[in-house]
């Protein structure tokens, strides 16, 4: 069980190290710690499948679309660090170690920090955000993410005037992530995986760092222990298994843009009027609902979030800046 409280003291500062890392001893002394008036902390994070997250509020920013099943969400994935087939992540991520886990926050900020995943879960209020997920291959899902607004973290670290973009970097560990190894099994990308947002995109209330789905900690194949979710952009912008967040002055050279800038622009907003060079983006199929014989759904501008985010791109040519 995880307990989420918004306090400013790090978990490692309020609990002796040997207790912090040993569940049994923590439980034995929890009552004594509480009686002594110590700030409430977390039970040790575990990446075991099915671990529930407590104190999660429902977000009014959620869509009312029908949820995609847990089975479909966790068995049909793009996570090229574990292979290029949709079933590879579930197959090869079973033994991935998502704990202990540190996220470094650095760059053009006043308060650089290194957060253990437990600290992030404690510092920031968690919400269930039901968002549409639209992938560039013209399929979509509706996922009940659990996470917190990225802007809460941004405000805590206080970017300076030179911070114009936020760069995200995933774990580079080819022993755990076989898709990072050279050869036919991998995607042929330069690792580690890098993504980026403009600072105002990162500050938008819809942008979250997700730590779970369906009320449980994030499954390995979906990006454990922490991933980005930007619901108006194509799914590959939602970088998984993040280990570093950097605030930078220049636009980050992201993985897919570096690999093929003709097909994967930096912004990657869902735009049905801009075709991928190898297929149309005007329609999609919803995993778990639509079949090969069903009429395709019309793709919505900004994935249906135009009312909330279109103002971010006022005056921009969205066919040029795709």
CATH of residue 88's domain is 3.90.420.10
pLDDT in tens, 33-79: 333 333 333 345 665 667 999 999 999 999 999 999 999 999 999 99
156 and 141: one domain? yes
Instruction: Say which residue the tokens 């670290």 belong to.
Output: 157
11 domain residue, yes or no: yes
- Which of 19, 6, 70 is closest to 219 using CA atoms? 70
31 domain residue, yes or no: yes
pLDDT above 50: residue 247: yes
Cross-strand bridge partners of residue 102: 116
Per-residue confidence (pLDDT) for residue 22, from 0 to 100: 42
Last residue of some domain: 230, 259, 288? 259
170 and 27: one domain? no
Per-residue confidence (pLDDT) for residue 48, from 0 to 100: 65
Per-residue confidence (pLDDT) for residue 160, from 0 to 100: 98
39 and 167: one domain? no
Q: Residue 243: phi, psi to the nearest 5?
A: -120, -15
285 domain residue, yes or no: no
Tokens coding 89: 């992540």
87 and 23: one domain? no
pLDDT above 60: residue 1: no
- Say how many domains are in the chain: 2
100 and 160: one domain? yes
pLDDT in tens, 160-174: 999 999 999 999 999
pLDDT in tens, 279-302: 999 999 999 999 988 999 999 999
19 and 83: one domain? no
pTM, two decimals, is 0.85
185 domain residue, yes or no: yes
- 27 burial level (CB within 10 Å; 0-12, 13-18, 19+): exposed
Identify the band that residue 155 occupies on the pLDDT scale cut at 50, 70 and 90: very high
32 and 65: one domain? no
* DSSP code, position 312: G
Cross-strand bridge partners of residue 283: 298
Distance CA 261, CA 295 (A): 31
Distance CA 211, CA 292 (A): 32
Per-residue confidence (pLDDT) for residue 67, from 0 to 100: 98
288 domain residue, yes or no: no
Per-residue confidence (pLDDT) for residue 187, from 0 to 100: 76
pLDDT in tens, 178-217: 999 987 566 789 999 999 999 999 999 999 999 999 999 9
200 and 212: one domain? yes
39 and 93: one domain? no
Per-residue confidence (pLDDT) for residue 185, from 0 to 100: 64
pLDDT above 80: residue 4: no
Q: What is the mean pLDDT of the chain?
A: 88
What is the sign of the dihedral through the CA atoms of 76, 120, 61 and 163? negative
Last residue of some domain: 205, 232, 259? 259
pLDDT above 60: residue 27: no
Residues 6 or more apart whose Cβ sits within 8 Å of residue 53 = 2, 4, 121, 126, 146, 211, 212, 215, 216, 217
Residues 6 or more apart whose Cβ sits within 8 Å of residue 100 = 45, 116, 117
Instruction: Say which residue the tokens 């190290």 belong to.
Output: 17
84 domain residue, yes or no: yes
Per-residue confidence (pLDDT) for residue 35, from 0 to 100: 35
Distance CA 161, CA 182 (A): 40
Distance CA 213, CA 72 (A): 12
pLDDT in tens, 248-288: 999 999 999 999 999 999 999 999 999 999 999 999 999 99
Last residue of some domain: 237, 259, 281? 259
**296 touches 290 (CB < 8 A):** yes
12 against 188, higher pLDDT: 188
pLDDT in tens, 103-150: 999 999 999 999 999 999 999 999 999 999 999 999 999 999 999 999
**189 touches 123 (CB < 8 A):** no
267 domain residue, yes or no: no
Cross-strand bridge partners of residue 147: 127, 210
Q: Which domain holds residue 7?
A: 1-44
* DSSP code, position 2: B
Per-residue confidence (pLDDT) for residue 21, from 0 to 100: 42
What is the sign of the dihedral through the CA atoms of 83, 89, 95 and 96? positive
22 and 154: one domain? no
2 domain residue, yes or no: yes
- Which of 130, 119, 224, 113 is closest to 177 using CA atoms? 224
Percent of the chain scored above 70 by pLDDT? Answer: 84
18 and 67: one domain? no
- H/E element holding 153? helix 150-157
Can the peptide bond before residue 225 be classed as cis, meaning omega within 30 degrees of 0?
yes
61 and 37: one domain? no
């Amino acid at each position: 069980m995880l307990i989420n409280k918004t306090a400013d003291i790090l978990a490692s500062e309020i609990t002796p190290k040997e207790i912090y890392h040993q569940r049994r001893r923590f439980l034995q002394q929890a009552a004594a710690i509480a009686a002594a008036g110590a700030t409430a902390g977390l039970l040790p994070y575990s990446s075991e499948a099915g671990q529930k997250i407590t104190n999660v509020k429902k977000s009014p920013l959620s869509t009312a679309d029908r949820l995609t099943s847990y089975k479909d969400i966790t068995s049909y994935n793009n996570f090229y660090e574990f292979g290029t087939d949709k079933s590879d992540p579930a197959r090869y991520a079973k033994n991935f170690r998502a704990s202990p886990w540190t996220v470094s926050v650095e760059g053009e900020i006043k308060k650089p920090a290194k957060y253990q995943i437990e600290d992030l879960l404690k510092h920031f209020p968690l919400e269930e955000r039901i968002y549409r997920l639209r992938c560039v291959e013209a399929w979509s899902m509706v996922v009940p993410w659990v996470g917190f607004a990225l802007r809460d973290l941004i405000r805590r670290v206080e970017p300076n005037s030179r911070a114009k973009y936020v760069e995200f970097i995933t774990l580079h560990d080819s022993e755990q992530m076989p898709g990072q190894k050279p050869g036919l099994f991998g995607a042929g990308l330069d690792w580690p995986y890098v993504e980026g947002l403009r600072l105002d995109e990162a500050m938008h209330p819809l942008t979250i760092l997700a730590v779970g789905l369906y009320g449980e900690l994030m499954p390995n194949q979906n990006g454990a222990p922490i991933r980005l979710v930007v619901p108006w952009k194509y799914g590959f912008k939602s970088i998984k298994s993040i280990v570093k967040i950097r605030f930078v002055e220049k636009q980050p050279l992201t993985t897919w843009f570096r690999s093929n800038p003709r097909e994967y622009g930096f912004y990657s907003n869902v735009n049905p009027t801009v075709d991928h060079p190898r297929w149309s983006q005007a329609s999609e199929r919803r995993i778990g609902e639509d079949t090969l014989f069903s009429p395709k759904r019309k793709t919505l501008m900004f994935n249906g979030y135009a009312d909330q985010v279109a103002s971010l791109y006022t005056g921009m040519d969205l066919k040029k800046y795709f």
